Amino acid sequence: MSARPPAKHPRRPASGWMVLAVVGVLVAVGLGAAGHRYRHLLEPAGAGGPTVFELRHGDPLPVVAERLRAAGLVRNARALRVRARQRDLDQKLQAGSYELNAGQSVDQILDILAAGKVVTRKITFPEGLTVAEAAARAEAAGICTAAEYRRLAENPREDSPGGRPRGAGLEGYLYPDTYHVALTAGAAELIALQTRQFEKVWGEFGGEHPPTRTRHEIVTLASLVEKEARHDDERARIAGVIVNRLRAGQRLELCSTVQYALGTHKERLLERDLRTPSPYNTYLHKGLPPGPICSPGRASLLAALQPAEHDDLFFVLGADGRHVFSRTFAEHRRAKAVAEKGRAAP
């Protein structure tokens, strides 16, 4: 009797878990590759020097991301959008001018844009500058042309700061300080910063002034003090001299007003200079000049608001750089002679 051949068992189909395992491996590999590519897209786009990037107000994230990509600052716009949303920064990017470079990662760029670390130009206006002098500084700083600054300062569109006579420019109201302005800012933005700072400082004094004088007169008086004073402790006393002469109906006869009328600075004024025809020439006209002759600082504004009370009517700059004050013209002549002798000495 022959042996029976072994029975053949039917092949079993692959179990479901094996299929899932294979799929899982494939998915993991795919996710790993995608994750690796995503991390790569967040890395610096390359090398290069700094680039000024302007994030415009109102630009949505997709527009910002695409502009960054086009500028060569990021590898992929979509990757930046995803990363910004992951970090909850998509609604926190601030408008302004930024200095970025392709050597920064997406995270570094987002940190800068969200923190508002804008790049600015720094400009300092010392006390006592005229509009023309301030305009020259603005041009030297690369913010605007001197002509544009002067045009806007001499013909302001808005009645700010207030208290100025109709048609008056901003001479005296461009507060002297250090300002940081955006790279895209021009004359209008700079002047707005200066006038707002003036209003802020004026407000710190309580916005009060003697009932007999307008704010414009106070600022004009302060500008005279600014130009005449050499030391802070003399400012209130000089303001007092000006007030005393105004009360007495005497011409102020201040050389600083003649310099302003001339439109240029001279180390020594000549007799013919004192006859310069101008409403600002206080050798020819009584009272305050029509307006400020420079932008006064805090100390001069305070002196004009609170002039010292005394009987002095004259002052002259002594050889030591401090002013000598006198009540009578005779005293003034003697003080002037001493000062001239001291300056002439070796």
Q: Is 322 part of a structural domain of the chain?
A: no
Residue-level pLDDT at 27: 55
Q: Is 287 part of a structural domain of the chain?
A: yes
The answer to whether residues 303 and 220 belong to one domain is yes
Helices (H) and strands (E) in the chain, counts: 12, 6
Kindly report the backbone phi and psi dihedral angles of residue 93, in degrees, each rounded to the nearest multiple of 5, phi listed first.
-75, 135
235-246: b or e for each residue (b if 16 or more CB lie within 10 Å)?
A: bbbbbbbbbbbb
The answer to whether residues 155 and 134 belong to one domain is yes
Q: Is 2 part of a structural domain of the chain?
A: no
**pTM recorded for the entire structure:** 0.76
The answer to whether residues 75 and 110 belong to one domain is yes
Q: How many domains does the chain have?
A: 3
Residue-level pLDDT at 1: 47
Q: Is 261 part of a structural domain of the chain?
A: yes
The answer to whether residues 170 and 134 belong to one domain is yes
Q: Is 274 part of a structural domain of the chain?
A: yes
Report d(CA 244, CA 256) in Å as an integer. 18
Q: Is 321 part of a structural domain of the chain?
A: no
Each of the 346 residues of the chain gets a pLDDT tens digit; together they read: 455 555 555 555 555 666 565 555 555 555 566 677 889 999 998 887 888 898 988 899 999 999 999 999 999 999 999 999 999 999 999 988 898 999 999 999 999 999 988 888 899 999 999 999 999 999 999 999 999 999 999 998 776 777 788 889 999 999 999 999 888 889 999 999 999 999 999 998 875 666 788 999 999 999 999 999 999 999 999 999 999 999 999 999 999 999 999 988 888 888 899 999 999 999 999 999 999 999 999 999 999 999 999 999 999 998 888 999 999 999 999 999 998 887 777 6
The answer to whether residues 182 and 228 belong to one domain is no
The answer to whether residues 111 and 142 belong to one domain is no
The answer to whether residues 223 and 295 belong to one domain is yes
The answer to whether residues 112 and 153 belong to one domain is no
Q: What CATH number does the domain containing 136 carry? A: 3.30.1490
The answer to whether residues 138 and 200 belong to one domain is yes
The answer to whether residues 235 and 171 belong to one domain is no
Q: Which residue, 179, 204, 229, sits at the end of a domain? A: 204
Is the CB of residue 135 less than 8 Å from the CB of residue 154? no
Q: Which residue, 166, 183, 204, sits at the end of a domain? A: 204
Q: Which residue, 184, 204, 224, sits at the end of a domain? A: 204
Q: Which spans in 141-287 are helix H?
A: 146-154, 187-204, 215-228, 232-248, 255-262
Residue-level pLDDT at 343: 74
Tokens of 203: 């407000």
Kindly state the helix (H) or strand (E) to which residue 190 belongs, with its residue range.
helix 187-204
Q: What CATH number does the domain containing 61 carry? A: 3.30.1490.480
The domain in which residue 63 lies consists of 51-118
Q: Is 32 part of a structural domain of the chain?
A: no
Strands 96-100 and 51-55 come out as: antiparallel
Give the 3-state secondary structure of residue 100: strand
The answer to whether residues 76 and 133 belong to one domain is no
Q: Is 65 part of a structural domain of the chain?
A: yes
The answer to whether residues 222 and 298 belong to one domain is yes
- What's the full length of the chain, in residues? 346
